[in-house]
Amino acid sequence: MKYNGSCHCGKVAFEVEGEINGVVACNCSICSRKGSLLWFVPREQLHLLSPENAASTYTFNKHTIKHRFCPICGIHPYGEGVDPKGNRMAAINIRCLEGIDIESVPVQNFDGRSL
């Protein structure tokens, strides 16, 4: 299935393909503050509709995850990184997708604080 997503003001827009079978709620220092519900997909399933430089990037700790956010409205629609096997991944904040019934999506808690 294809989903459309964006930040609040629409400057950062994208499409993502796949099936949302569940999401992750992480308790690390940034995710707990953002309140993101993350759906992980291979990076090639994320198709930017706005120029890549429309989003700003924030990294911290080991600087391995690119937390992407809109410099205008401040919303964090997705992140980019690499999984343990070296595959490029995208972490989609499903709160930024259109037409999602968030209450129907299973949530798995992840203890990112312990990393």
Boundaries of every domain in the chain: 2-114
Query: How many angstroms separate the CA atoms of 83 and 93, rounded?
Result: 17
DSSP for residue 97: B
21-73 pLDDT, tens digit per residue, is: 999 999 999 999 999 999 999 999 999 999 999 999 999 888 889 999 999 99
Task: Give the per-residue pLDDT at 92.
Answer: 98
Task: Give the per-residue pLDDT at 21.
Answer: 96
Is the confidence at residue 9, as pLDDT, over 90? yes
Average pLDDT value for residue range 79-108: 96
The CATH code for residues 2-114 is: 2.170.150.70
Higher confidence at residue 113 or residue 19?
19
Task: Give the per-residue pLDDT at 113.
Answer: 85
79 to each of 93, 112, 114, how far by Cα in Å? 8, 15, 20
